[in-house]
Structure 1
C-alpha cells in the first residue's frame, strides 16, 4: 500500500447495480437484521448532492475508465440541500480498499472556490487543504459535474458494516453550483435501477452476506461520477 496513506484506515467496498425487485427483497431481509443509519430521516433516507472535480487531463475519469486499481476523486458534498454541513472530500482507492479524507467548508469558502478564488484553501497548518490548493493552482482541478441522489443507509457494528441503496441518480446537466435553486437534475440512469454499496472493515458477517445474496449479484464498477459524465457527454453529442 502507498506509504503516503499508511496512517489512513482503509475499508472494503463492493458495488452492484440492482433492480427494484432485488432492492425490495434485500431490504426485507436487512431490516430484520441490522439498523437504519441514525442520520436518515423519518422515511429512512436522506438526499446527497456532490460537485465532482477533475484536473486538466480528466485524470479521475480516464483512470476509472482505464481500469486503474489505484485512483482518487475530489468532490464537495452536501446533505438535504443544507449549507450548514459542507465537506470537500478526497476518495482514495488502493486496489480493493477505499478510504476518504475530508475537510469542512463554510458557505463563504464554497462560494469563493466556485468563483475561482482558491486562496481560501491556502492554510499551511492543514495538509489536506494545502493539497487541494496545489491541485487547484497547478493541476487546474475544476468543477466537472453534479451528482444527485437519494440514499437509504443501514449500519451494523459487527465488522463496521455500512450498506446503502442509492436511488434516483441524477445529474445537473452543465450546472456547477450545488446550491442553485433553479437546478433541475435529470435522470442519469433508469429510475428502476439502484446502486447498492457494501462497505466493511476486516470482515463481512456471514448472516449479512447471506441476506444480501452476494453470490447471485454481479459486482460492477458503478461509479456515479462516471455514469453522470457519460450522460453529459451523450447529451452534448445529441445537442450538436
Structure 2
C-alpha cells in the first residue's frame, strides 16, 4: 500500500456479564458512546470473512504468527448504504486497517466469482484482492455477526468496545438477508472486550478498566466462528 499505515494498540479480553456490568458502570461516566451507535448505545455488525486455498489467515492465527492479515466485507445494521471491503493487519500487539467502499452490485459479483469488478488500478486494496482471488483462490469462508457497544475517549484516541451475542453462519448465506438466523458461536454469558488506543491509555480510563485483573486472550471472532462450524461438522478445514 502506498498510503502509510497507522498502527494502533489492540488488547482483547473475554469477560462475563458480571464483569461487563462492573466495567461498563465505571466507564460510562468517563467516556462517550460512538456517534454511530443507536439510542441504546449499540449497533449491529455483520462481516463476511475470506481466506485463501491454504486457510492462511486461520492457520497463522492459530499458529501465533505475529505478522498476519485478514480480509472481510463488513456491513452495519444489515443495510447496504455502507459496504466496506477491509484488510486488517496485525503486527505483534499493533493493528492497522485498510478499507475501500464497494457497491451492492460489486458484492453480488464477487460472490458469483466475477472478480473483474475488483480490477480498479487506482485502488490498491481492490487490486490486491483481485490478485488474491485469482492467484491464491481467496474465497468467502464464514459469517461473523454480533452487537457492538462502543465507547470513545479523545485523549489517546481510546476506543473500547463490548461485542455481544457472537453468532455465525455459513458463507453461502446472504449477509443482507434480514431474516438470516445465524447461530450462537459462544455462550451468551461471555462478551469480547476490545481496547484500542494510539500511544497511551489515560490513567482515569486505565483505572476504570483495571486491566491488571483481566486475563488477555486471543479472542479472534473469525477463529471462534470457524472453529464452531468445524466442531459442529458444518465445515472442514
Please give the range of the TM-score, normalised by the shorter of the 2 chains.
over 0.9
* Post-superposition CA distance 1:184-227 (Å, at most 9, x none): 11000000100000000000111111101100000001000000
CA distance in 2, matches of 1:28, 1:171: 29
Q: Which residue of the other structure, out of 141, 150, 157, is the alignment partner of 2:138?
A: 141
Is it true that 1:226 corresponds to 2:223 in the alignment? Answer: yes
Picking from 77, 82, 91, the partner of 1:80 is 77
Give the unaligned 5+ runs of structure 1: none
Judge conservation of contact 2:78–2:177 (CA < 8 Å) in 1: no
Which 4+ residue blocks in structure 1 deviate beyond 4 angstroms? none
- The correspondence for 2:195, drawn from 191, 195, 198, is 198
Aligned residues of 2:141 and 2:170 also touching (Cα < 8 A): no
Q: Distance in 1 between matches of 2:207 and 2:6?
A: 26
CA RMSD of aligned residues (A): 1.6
Corresponding residue number in structure 1 for 2:103: 106
- Cα distance, 1:237 vs. partner? 6.9
Alpha-carbon distance change, 176 to 143 in structure 1, aligned in 2, over 3 angstroms: farther
Q: How many angstroms does 1:170 deviate by?
A: 0.1
Determine the structure 1 residue equivalent to 2:119. 122
2-structure distance, mates of 1:237, 1:183: 17
CA contact (8 A) 1:51 1:176 kept: no
Indicate the residue corresponding to 2:13 in structure 1: 16
Among 162, 166, 177, the residue aligned to 1:169: 166
Please report the TM-score for the alignment, with normalisation by the length of structure 1.
Answer: 0.95
How many residue pairs are counted as aligned between the two chains? 236
Could you tell me the TM-score, scaled by structure 2's length?
A: 0.96
Give the whole-Å Cα distance in 2 for the aligned partners of 1:237 and 1:105. Answer: 29
Task: Report the counterpart of residue 55 of structure 1 in structure 2.
Answer: 52
Q: Hey, what does 1:64 align to over in structure 2?
A: 61
What is the CA–CA distance in structure 2 between the aligned matches of 1:182 and 1:150, rounded to whole Å? 16
Shift of 1:125: 1.3
1:45 aligned to which of 42, 45, 48: 42
Number of the residue aligned with 2:25? 28
Kindly state the Cα deviation for residue 179 of structure 1 after the two structures are TM-superposed: 1.4
| Secondary structure class of the residue paired with 2:80 | strand
Structure 2 segments unaligned to the other structure (5+ residues): none
